[in-house]
Structure 1
Amino acid sequence: MEKNKSRRPSLRLHLFITILMLVVLAMTVTNCLTLQTALELQIDSFTQEMQGQALVLTRQLSGSGYFEHSDDPTVNAVIEQTADMWGGRIQVIDRSFRIVRDTYAVDTGKYNISEYVIRCLDGQSSSSFDTEGQFVAFAQPIYEKNFKASVISVSPVEANNVVQDAIEGVLLVTADLQSVVAPFRQAREKDMILMSAATCIAVLVILVIVVYWMRPFKKLVQQIDRAAEGGLKDEVDVHNYAETLRISEAFNRTLKRMQMLDASRQEFVSNVSHELKTPITSIRVLADSLMGMEGAPVELYREFMEDISNEIDRESQIIDDLLSMVRLENKEQTLNISQVSINEMMELLLKRLRPIAKKRNIELLFESFRPVTADIDEVKLNLAVTNLVENAIKYNQDSGWVKVSLNADHKFFYIKVTDNGCGIPEDAVEHIFERFYRVDKARSRETGGTGLGLSITKTIVQLHHGAIKVHSKLQEGTTFVVRIPMIYIKE
C-alpha cells in the first residue's frame, strides 16, 4: 500500500509543471509573434522603398533611348548606384527578352524568359518574396516616353494590345534580405538567452508559489493524520480555501459519524455482555442455592429447575435475536422477494398468536379493507409484524384488545397494530427502536423481552424500502403503522 502511495503523482508536481508549461508557452508565443510581426513590417517597408526607387528608375529609362544606347554612363551609374543601395541586382530587359544591362555583369546579352518578365511585358507588374532563399524580386514595365495607359479609350482587347506595344522593356530587381533578416536573427538569439534566464527565474517563482498554495493542503493532511493517530478525537479546521474548508467539513462529519458508531459499538458490546450475563447469573444463583440445600422437598427442586429452564430460554432468545440482527445488518444481506398475499400472511400470523393472547383474555382482531398482493420477503416481514403484535399482547392489560388492520393504495400497503395497553411515555418514544432499549426494564424481564425486537422490526421494514411510525399515549394505548411499497425495486 505504501509503495502505491509513493508512486502516485503529487498535486504539487502537477501544478508546478502545468504553470511552468503555461508560462513558457506564453513567453515563447509572445516572443515569436512579436519578432515575426516586426520582421514582416520591416520587409514590407524595405520592399515598398525598393519599389518606389525602381519606379523612379523606370521613369528615367522611359523614352531615354537606353535600349539603343545601353552604354550610357550616366544611366548606368544610376542603375549601379540603385542596385548597390539595396545590396541587390538589377537587370534591364528589352521586349525581345534580351538582357540589356546586368549589374552583376554576368548575364548581359543573354535572354531571360522568366515568369516575372513575361507577365510584365503583358503589362502586369509582379513581385514575390522567397522565405527560404530570403530574397525579394519584382518586375516593373518600362513604357515609351509620355505613355499614359489611363488615356486609352478603346476596347479592353485593343487597350491591352496598345499597352503591350507601348512597353519598351522590363526592369527586374532582386535583392538579398540578409541585411534585413540578420538583426532579427541576432535579436532572436538574444531572446532565447533571455527566455532561458526568464524560465529559470519562473521555475523558482512558480516553485515558491506552488509551495505556498499547497501549504493549506499539507496542513490539512497533517491534521487528518493527527486526528487518526489520536483515536478520532480531534476535528480538522483548515479554511484557507473553499476546497480545504469543504474537505475539513466533510472529514469532521465523517469523524462524528465514526465517533457515534464507535460509541454505539461500545454500548452494544456493553449491553450484549449485560444481557447475556444476567440469565447466567440467575442460573448460577439458582444452582448454588440448590446445591446448598439438603433434604429439600422435590417440589422446591422442581420450582428451581423450572426457573433455570426459563433463564436458559431467555438466554437462547437473546442469542437468536442477536443473530437475527447481525444477519439483517450485513451489507451483503439479500431479500428473497416474491409476490405474496399479505391478507393470507396476516391471517396465519394472527392464528399462531391467538393462543398467547387467549391466555390473558386479550381479544385479537383483524380488519382487512381489500385484497393486497405485494413484493416482499415473507419470512422477514412475518418476523417484523410478529414482533409488533407480540409486544402489543405482552405489554397490554388483561382482558384488553389488540386490533390489526390491513389497507393499501396504488403505491403502498399499510399494516396498523393498535392496542389499549399502558402506552409509552413521550420521552421514550424516540428511543424505542434502539437496541436493548426498554421502557419498563422490570416488566420486560418478566415478559421475556430482550430489547431487540423493535430494532429488528425497523431494520426489516427499511430493507423493504418502507417506514414505521408510532403514536402512543400513557394509559390509553399504542399504535404502530408500517408502510411498505407494493412493488420492490432493487437499488
Structure 2
Amino acid sequence: MTVKKKTRFFKSLRFRIMIILLILGIVPSVIVTQLMIYNYETQALEVRASAVRAQCAILSNQIIKENYLNDSSSEAVNSKLELLSNIYGGRVLLVDKDFRIVKDTYHVDEEKTLISPGVIRCFKTGEVTDYSRNGQIMQLAVPVKSADVPQIQGAMLVTVSCSEIMATMVEMEQQGMLIIAIIVVLSIFLSYFLSTVLVKPLARVTKSIEDLTDGYQKDEISVPDYTETELITDAFNKMLARMKVLDESRSEFVSNVSHELKTPMTSMKVLADSLVGQEGVPEELYQEFMHDITAEIDRENRIITDLLTLVKMDKKTADLSIQHMDINQLLEDILKRLQPIADKRNIDLILDSFRPVEADVDELKFTSAISNLVENAIKYNVDDGWVRVSLDADHKYFYVTVADSGMGIPEDSIDRIFERFYRVDKSHSREIGGTGLGLAITRSTIAMHHGVIKVFSREGEGTTFSVRIPLSYIP
C-alpha cells in the first residue's frame, strides 16, 4: 500500500468507524475486568478481616478472664495465639496498656515497648485496620476488652498474610487480559465487517457520481439506504439540476451574445456592400447609409460596454465607492434628468418621499440602477401614462419602488426578465432599442449593495419593481 493510499485509509470514514467500534468493545471490557478484580479484593479482605476480628474477640475474653496480660504462662492462651498466627500465616503481638509487649508469636520482641500509630489509635478509637498491597499483608489492631470490663486492657496486633488473595487477583488479571485479547480480535473483525457494511452506501454514492460524471448513468442518482445518503443524493441532484440550468443559461447567453453582436455587424456589412456595389452614389443616400452604420456601431458599443460591466460584476472586481448620500435628492435628480424622455410621450413622473432618507451607496452605480428601472418604465409605458417612484425606510433598510401604468409582463416571463438578453416582446424591444442587459446589470448592482429587487406585474395592468437596500453598508 502506497503512502498516499495509507493516508487516505487513515482519513477514511471506515477507519474511524473501526476505531470507534474497537473503543466501544475494549474500554467496557477493561472497565468490567478492573471492577471485578477490585470487588473481589475488597470482599476478600473484608471476609478475612471479619474472621480475624471474630477470633480476636474470643481471645480477648479469655485473655482478660485468665489475667494473661499480667501472667503470660497460660498454655491455653498461648496455644490459641500460636494457632491464630499459623492459620493466617502472620504474626500476633499482644500489648498491655503500658505499651509493653506481653506476647510475640515470633518470640523476638517480648518485654519490649511498642509505641506505634496503630496501637495508639487502637487505644483511642478502637479497632484499626491497615492494608499493604505491595507487602501483601493486612494488619489489624484490635482492643483487648470484655463486656464486664469497659476499659481497654490492651491491644492485639495481628499481621495477616494476603498472598493467596493477591495470587487470585493476578490469576483474575491474566484471565481478564486473555478475555480482552479475544474481544480485541473479535472487535477487529466485527468492526471491519460493520464498517464495510455501513460505508458501502457511501461508496455507492461515490460510484454513482463517478458514473454520472463519466456519462454512464442517467441524469440523477439514488441511494436510499440511509437517511443521510438519501439527503446527500437529494442535495447532489438539486445541485446537478442547478448546474444544468446554469449550463443552459450559459449556452443561451453565448448564443444571445453571438446573435446580438452579429446583428449590427450584419447590418453594417449590408449597408457597406450597398455603397461599394453602386457607382455614383448620391450624397444624400451616402449620408443616410453612413448615419445607419454609425447607429449600428453605437449599438455594438453599448452591447460591449454592458457586457464588460456584467463581467466585472460577475468576477467581483467592480469596487464600490460607498458614500453617505441623501437618497431623496438622488431620486429627484434621476427624475429631473429623465423628464424630457417622459415628456415626449406625455408621461407623468411622480416622486413620493415619505421621509428623509440617508444611506451608504455608490452614487454612480445606484443612480444607474434606479435610472434603468425608471427609463424602462417610461419606454414600456402607454402614451399619457404615469410612472410613480416612492421612497420609504425603517430602522434598517430603505425601500424604492418604481411603478408604471404600462403594458405589464406576462406571468411566464416574470422569472426570466433579469436574464441577460431576455426580452418579453422581442419585436417591440427592437423598436425601442436597448441591449437586453439593463435589468441584469441592475440586479447585480443592487446585490453588490447587499440589497434585493423584486418585481410584481400583471399583463395589461402595469409593473412594479421593489428595491430594498440596507441603510448602512457593511463590506
Both structures adopt the same fold (TM-score exceeding 0.5): yes
| Matched-pair contact (CA < 8 Å) for 1:403–1:418 | yes
Shift of 1:404: 4.2
Alpha-carbon separation, structure 1, partners of 2:446 and 2:336: 22
Instruction: Find the partner of 1:362 among 314, 338, 345.
Output: 345
Q: CA deviation at 1:268?
A: 0.5
Calculate percent identity across the aligned residue pairs: 36
Out of 296, 315, 340, which is 2:300 matched to? 315
- Report if aligned partners of 1:428, 1:439 keep a CA contact under 8 Å in 2: yes
Segments of 5+ residues of structure 2 without an aligned counterpart are none
Cα offset, 1:215, TM superposition: 1.7
Q: Aligned pair 1:212/2:212, yes or no?
A: no
Deviations 1:201-239 (A, max 9, x none): 222222222222222222223333333444997433223
Q: Closer, same or farther in 2 for the Cα pair 1:171/1:469, shift >3 Å?
A: closer
> Which region of structure 1 is more displaced relative to structure 2, 119-128 or 427-436?
119-128
- The answer for the alignment partner of 2:467 in structure 1 is 483
User: 1:389 and 1:241 mapped to 2: Cα distance?
Assistant: 53
How far 1:437 sits from its partner (Å)? 1.8
Task: Give the SS at the match of 2:65.
Answer: coil
SS at match of 1:149: coil
SS in 1 for 2:230: helix
Question: Does residue 467 of structure 2 align to residue 467 of structure 1?
Answer: no
Q: Distance in 1 between matches of 2:366 and 2:7?
A: 50
Name the structure 2 match of 1:160: none
CA–CA distance in structure 2, aligned partners of residues 68 and 341 of structure 1? 114
Mapped contact 1:128–1:137 kept (Cα < 8 A): yes
Aligned equivalents of 2:280, 2:110: Cα separation in 1:
154
Match of 2:392 among 399, 408, 411: 408
Cα separation, 1, equivalents of 2:79 and 2:321: 111
Q: Quick check: 274-283 or 13-22, which moved more?
A: 13-22
Q: How does 1:72-221 map to 2 (within 5 A)?
A: 72-118=74-120, 124-142=126-144, 148-149=148-149, 163=151, 167=153, 169-221=154-206
For the structure 1 residues 60 and 202, does the alpha-carbon distance in structure 2 shift closer, same or farther, using more than 3 Å as the test? same
Match of 1:33 in 2: 35
User: Is the 1:373–1:486 Cα contact (8 Å) retained in structure 2?
Assistant: no
Question: What letter corresponds to residue 89 of structure 1 in structure 2?
Answer: R
CA distance in 1, matches of 2:112, 2:104: 10
| RMSD of aligned Cα (Å) | 3.3
3-state SS in 2 of match to 1:250: helix
TM-score, normalised on structure 2?
0.85
Shift in CA distance, 93/265, structure 1 to aligned 2, threshold 3 Å: same
**Aligned counterpart in structure 2 of residue 382 of structure 1, from 359, 367, 383:** 367
Tell me which residue corresponds to 2:11: 9
Summarize the Cα distance change of 1:123–1:396 in structure 2 as closer, same or farther, 3 Å threshold: closer
CA-to-partner distance for each residue in 1:391-425, whole Å, 9 max, x for gaps? Answer: 3444456x6444344443545343435245x5544
Superposed displacement of residue 122, structure 1:
6.6
Q: Deviations over 1:64-90 (max 9, x none)?
A: 254566444444333322321222222
Larger radius of gyration: 1
Superposition pairs for residues 269-418 of structure 1, below 5 Å? 269-357=254-342, 361-370=344-353, 372-375=356-359, 376-396=361-381, 400-410=384-394, 412-418=398-404
